């Protein structure tokens, strides 16, 4: 799968050599197939756990957008946790941007579409997505800061606005995932099951489209388990398993170096 070429284009990070030695040791002791399966198993376990936690939060604790009192109580009860979550999300963007750049570069390299229009689709949607997502994280960070400064009605309006912003973001992910799927399938870049996972996540992303139309029930973008749940699963599953694929590519490259 072009592991050496893939890793050769990636930046060298601190601790790479130490991790490389560990990778070579693991492959020599247990074999590449076993190591790959272990990495994928860990990725799926993380994605499953985060998805379950997210769904439970949506069903059990997310306040209704039509009830300002519930929104105010939610931000009062979980204020420190929400501030921490916003900070973690902002910090995580540094890694997410790096990861996305490496992945997209790999996809662009494998693109054989006419005039590489799929590559242009990747770059365009990715740029718009991260710009809007950064604004969304900033607005989310402002909510717990404002919870003691504004009325529950104002807080609820901002809360709904932030979450409904995820609806166009979800739709924006559709062309990106389609381009990823088309490139991966055409070039045989991913294992078959991973290519299929990309397509499933594309379909799950469409769940956010219902958030444009209602503010109550399972299809709303504030506390709707169908609208938010489908996208939430895709949000956790796809990065986890693609990260695992990238790690396995890197392990193969390090093992080949020692052969």
201 contact partners, CB below 8 Å, separation of at least 6: 177, 233, 234, 237, 238
22 contact partners, CB below 8 Å, separation of at least 6: none
Which contiguous run of DSSP H or E holds residue 214? none
Q: Tell me the Cα Rg of the chain.
A: 20
Q: Is residue 114 part of a domain?
A: yes
Q: Is residue 105 part of a domain?
A: yes
Mean pLDDT for the stretch of residues 48-68 = 93
Task: Identify the band that residue 122 occupies on the pLDDT scale cut at 50, 70 and 90.
Answer: very high
As a whole number, the mean pLDDT across the chain is 86
Phi, psi of 178 (to 5 degrees): -65, -45
Mean pLDDT for the stretch of residues 57-72 = 92
Residue 162: which domain range? 13-258
Q: Is residue 176 part of a domain?
A: yes
- The pLDDT assigned to 7 comes to 40
Q: Is residue 2 part of a domain?
A: no
Q: Is residue 34 part of a domain?
A: yes
pLDDT tens profile 87-100:
999 999 888 889 99
Whether pLDDT at 145 is above 90: yes
Mean pLDDT for the stretch of residues 192-218 = 93
- The gap from C-alpha 90 to its chain's centroid, in whole angstroms, comes to 13
Nearest to 88 by CA among 137, 150, 50: 137
Task: Identify the band that residue 16 occupies on the pLDDT scale cut at 50, 70 and 90.
Answer: low
Overall domain count for the chain:
1
Whether pLDDT at 259 is above 70: no
d(CA 82, CA 76): 10
Whether pLDDT at 31 is above 80: no
Q: What angle do CA 7, 13, 15 make, to 5 degrees?
A: 110
Tokens of 3: 């592991």
Q: Is residue 4 part of a domain?
A: no
Q: Is residue 137 part of a domain?
A: yes
Whether pLDDT at 256 is above 70: no
Q: Is residue 1 part of a domain?
A: no
């Amino acid at each position: 799968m072009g592991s050496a070429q893939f890793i050769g284009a990636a930046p060298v990070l601190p601790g790479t050599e130490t991790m490389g030695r560990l990778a070579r040791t693991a492959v020599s002791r247990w074999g590449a197939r076993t190591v790959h399966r272990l990495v994928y198993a860990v990725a799926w376990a993380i994605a499953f756990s985060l998805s379950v936690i997210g769904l439970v939060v949506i069903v059990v604790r997310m306040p209704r957008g039509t009830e300002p009192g519930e929104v105010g109580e939610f931000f009062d009860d979980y204020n420190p946790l929400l501030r921490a979550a916003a900070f973690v999300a902002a910090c995580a963007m540094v890694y997410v941007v790096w990861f996305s750049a490496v992945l997209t570069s790999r996809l662009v390299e494998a693109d054989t579409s006419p005039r590489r229009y799929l590559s242009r689709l990747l770059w365009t949607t990715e740029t718009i997505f991260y710009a809007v997502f950064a604004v969304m994280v900033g607005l989310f960070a402002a909510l717990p800061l404002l919870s003691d400064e504004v009325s529950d009605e104002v807080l609820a309006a901002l809360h709904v606005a932030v979450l409904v912003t995820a609806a166009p973001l979800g739709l924006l992910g559709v062309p990106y995932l389609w381009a990823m799927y088309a490139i991966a399938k055409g070039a045989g870049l991913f294992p078959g099951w991973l290519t299929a996972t990309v397509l499933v996540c594309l379909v799950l992303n469409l769940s956010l489209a219902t958030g444009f139309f209602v503010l109550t029930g399972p299809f709303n973008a504030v506390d709707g388990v169908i609208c938010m749940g489908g996208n939430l699963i895709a949000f956790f599953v796809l990065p986890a398993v693609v990260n695992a694929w990238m790690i396995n590519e890197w392990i193969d490259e390090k093992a080949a170096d020692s052969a």
